[in-house]
Structure 1
Amino acid sequence: MALSTPKDVYLFAYTLAQLAATGYVLYLAFSSFSDGPSAVYAVAGDLVRLLQTLSLLEVMHAVFGLVRSNPFNTLVQISSRVYVVWFIINAVPSAATKVLRIPYLGDDAHPLLGLSYATMVIAWGFAETIRYTYYACSMLGSVPYFVKWVRYTAFYVLYPLGISSELTVCYFANPTLRSTGMFSYRMPNAWNFDFDFAFFNTYCVMLVAYVAFSPMLYTHMMSQRKKALGGAKAKKQ
């Protein structure tokens, strides 16, 4: 579409800003790798949290009709990342720097296995860079076939990488959430109500929201890819 209205100009400027910022996050993530995986959080953590929070604007874009997206679907897609950066990482920073070790390899084996937060940021960064590039091209009226193909293909790798990384970070936070009672509301209290956030994080978020629903979302994205690309014999634009 032509950038002929204030709405179009705003959306294009928002898209370019997010594209530049997510590209910068990827640069920070890869450039800090030489200092160890935990350096990614130290260098990029604040910016990642800011960008994921600002992405809530996209829900408002849908609510006010600036884009055609369904507001509820947009909220569901964004809320998991906002949950991770605020209720997990911001609350328990150590979850972003713990080392994921493989049993029987020893404590000193493969120190670069502590990649959970780093791989999460990288998966998010690539996914968002690809998405915003696609949006920017679409707003200008022409989407190259390669951009479209990457938009509907990269999820095969990025989605499992991102989901597994998010799950690992949530798992790392659980001991602290359980021992401190953070975000919990325990009885006795005036409302006669009990809420255990560590239980919620384990069973409602990790087991239901991630493990149960992720396969359905994955197959949905495969279906969307087929519709967008028309199968293996799709013609290039």
Structure 2
Amino acid sequence: MSRVFLIWAVTHSVKEVQSEDSVLLFVIAWTITEIIRYSFYTFSLLNHLPYIIKWARYTLFIVLYPMGVSGELLTIYAALPFVRQAGLYSISLPNKYNFSFDYYAFLILVMISYIPLFPQLYFHMLHQRRKVLSGTEEHKKFD
């Protein structure tokens, strides 16, 4: 969902950020990640998973995940002034629904949500890496 959000609700909606280096950063990280992920799935389905693909799936995230998250956060941050100025996707009171929404504040909350979520997901992947690449019998019985 974060990819759809970043592509549509930030990068597509705020044209001014489309030329930011941060967009290139997350697009490169996502692209490499997906090439590795789908190669892993394909070879697994064929019951012929080369170790290099398995290793790449459980190792390259160490660099790619922080790279992608950095690109995402920098892109959202770059979009903030434009969102505020244009009032993009914001709904002000008064209106017939008696409801307001501030997209600028929402983007800030999204950025803050990375603080608890990123370490949790990153350390989960590190744990998976140890489990999958260790090859010990203790870890194999949990697969």
Q: What TM-score do the two structures reach when normalised by structure 1?
A: 0.55
Counterpart in the other structure of 1:80: 2
Look up the match of 1:215: 119
CA distance in 2, matches of 1:92, 1:169: 10
1:167 aligns with 2:73: yes
Task: State the 1:116 CA deviation.
Answer: 1.0
> Which TM-score applies when normalising by structure 2?
0.90
Q: What value does the CA root-mean-square deviation take over the aligned residues?
A: 1.6
**How many Å separate the matches in 1 of 2:2 and 2:62?**
19
In the aligned structure 1, how far is the partner of 2:92 from the partner of 2:27? 34
Q: Which 5+ residue runs of structure 1 have no aligned equivalent?
A: 1-78, 99-114
Q: Do structure 1's residue 132 and structure 2's residue 38 form an aligned pair?
A: yes
Aligned pair 1:229/2:133, yes or no? yes
Q: Distance in 2 between matches of 1:155 and 1:231?
A: 19
Indicate the structure with greater helix content. Answer: 2
Q: When the two structures are aligned, how many residues end up with a matched partner?
A: 137
CA distance in 2, matches of 1:90, 1:177: 12
Residue aligned with 2:38, SS: helix
1:191 aligns with 2:126: no
Letter in 2 for 1:83: F
Aligned match of 2:11 = 89
Select the structure with the greater relative contact order (CA < 8 A; seq sep ≥ 6): 2
Unpaired runs of 5+ residues, structure 2, are none
> Where in structure 1 do 4 or more consecutive aligned residues deviate above 4 Å?
none
The percentage of counterpart residues that share the same residue type is: 43
Cα deviation per residue 1:151-190 (whole Å; 9 max; x = unaligned)? 0000000000000000000111111111111111111012
